[in-house]
């Protein structure tokens, strides 16, 4: 049983915005915080558009879409999240920034609230050190992009995470319409430990001239029934994010075998970061 009515989310980027949308549609009150008014405005616009699309497609009634939008509150002030029953952090993958936030969360949320992070690879145990005595309430709640579409939430226990925190998090993810799957706290957890080496290997295959990028992806979509080829998926995730996760894997698992492919790093150096930059492995105009 999760006992959550109000969810606080920190970070209104693609992940935070997606989690907010899913939470609101599932009936939770959402307070979405970001330090940038511009990011919050973009997120509000995207929620209206995406919920409108669901109404057009007949997936959601107009009344339910209106009710979901009413349950969403956008704020620049972290203090506005103080009466939430759980906080989910979804800021950029920066360990120092996350630790600064979890130190604040420990002081703000003193009534047993869950302190969750949507990190894709940073150690939960490391983030939890910033929460002091509240470390038993820190847990990983790893959503996948696009959040409204992907069913999985990888739930990661840190060394100090209590069983009560884990049980309540699993129940909450289910109440949000997701399928939670538990994993332990090792670099990259399960998802990125398995996914990223495949993506990295696709870059090596391209670099060594085994096949053209489009053909590498075609082989994996048609032969393995992946919805996107590994190189298209790397653009979707962000090439800089892929390099960052590979670094976390190499350092955390102590194996050079996880280092990012030189070609992948070169594209990042050239600013070809994927969809968000308009160009990565492939061109993404508009």
Residues that bind ligand CAA (CB under 6 A): 50, 57, 120, 144-146, 148-150, 192, 227-228, 233, 237
For ligand CAA, give the closer residue by CB, 8 or 238. 238
- Selecting among 29, 142, 191, 244, the annotated active-site residue is 142
In whole angstroms, the minimum distance from the beta carbon of 119 to ligand CAA comes to 8
Respond yes or no: is residue 192 known to be catalytic.
yes
How many helices (H) and strands (E) would you count in the chain? Answer: 11, 8
Residue among 154, 191, 200, 244 flagged as catalytic: 154
In angstroms, the CA 182 to CA 257 distance is 26
Catalytic residue flag (residue 93) = no
Give the shortest CB-59-to-ligand CAA separation in angstroms. Answer: 6
139-162 as b/e: b if 16+ CB within 10 A: bbbbbbeebbeeeebbbbbbebbe
Distance in Å, CB of 16 to ligand CAA, minimum: 13
Nearer to ligand CAA, 81 or 268 (CB): 268
User: Would you call 154 a catalytic residue per the annotation?
Assistant: yes
Catalytic residue among 121, 123, 191, 192: 192
Beta carbon nearer to ligand CAA, 2 or 265: 265
Cα torsion 56, 178, 273, 8: sign: positive
Q: Give dist(CA 36, CA 18) in Å, integer.
A: 17
Question: What six digits make up the tokens of 246?
Answer: 């590979």
Minimum Å gap between C-beta 110 and ligand CAA is: 30
The position carrying tokens 């970061």 is 273
Q: Could you give the CA distance from residue 127 to residue 116 in angstroms, rounded to a whole number?
A: 10
Residues marked active site are found at 120, 142, 154, 192
């Amino acid at each position: 049983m999760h006992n959550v009515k109000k969810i606080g989310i920190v970070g209104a980027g693609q992940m935070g915005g997606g989690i907010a949308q899913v939470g609101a549609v599932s009936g939770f009150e959402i307070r979405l915080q970001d330090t940038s008014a511009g990011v919050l405005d973009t997120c509000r616009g995207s929620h209206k558009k995406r919920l409108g699309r669901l109404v057009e497609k007949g997936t959601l009634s107009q009344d339910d879409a209106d009710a979901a939008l009413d349950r969403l509150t956008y704020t620049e002030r972290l203090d506005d999240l103080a009466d939430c029953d759980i906080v989910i952090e979804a800021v950029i993958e920066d360990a120092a920034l996350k630790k600064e936030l979890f130190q604040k969360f420990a002081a703000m949320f003193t009534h047993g609230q869950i302190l969750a992070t949507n990190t894709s690879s940073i150690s939960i145990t490391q983030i939890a050190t910033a929460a002091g005595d509240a470390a038993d309430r820190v847990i990983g709640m790893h959503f996948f992009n696009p959040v409204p579409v992907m069913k999985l939430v990888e739930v990661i226990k840190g060394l100090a995470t209590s069983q009560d925190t884990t049980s309540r998090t699993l129940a909450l993810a289910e109440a949000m319409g997701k399928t939670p799957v538990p994993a332990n706290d090792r670099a990259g957890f399960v998802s990125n430990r398995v996914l990223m080496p495949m993506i990295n290997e696709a870059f090596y295959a391209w670099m060594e001239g085994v096949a053209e990028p489009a053909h590498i992806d075609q082989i994996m979509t048609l032969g393995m029934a992946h919805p996107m080829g590994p190189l298209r998926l790397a653009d979707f995730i962000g090439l800089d994010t892929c390099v960052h996760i590979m670094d976390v894997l190499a350092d955390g698992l102590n194996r050079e075998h996880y280092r990012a492919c030189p070609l992948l790093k070169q594209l990042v150096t050239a600013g070809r970061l994927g969809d968000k930059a308009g160009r990565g492995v492939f061109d993404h105009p508009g």
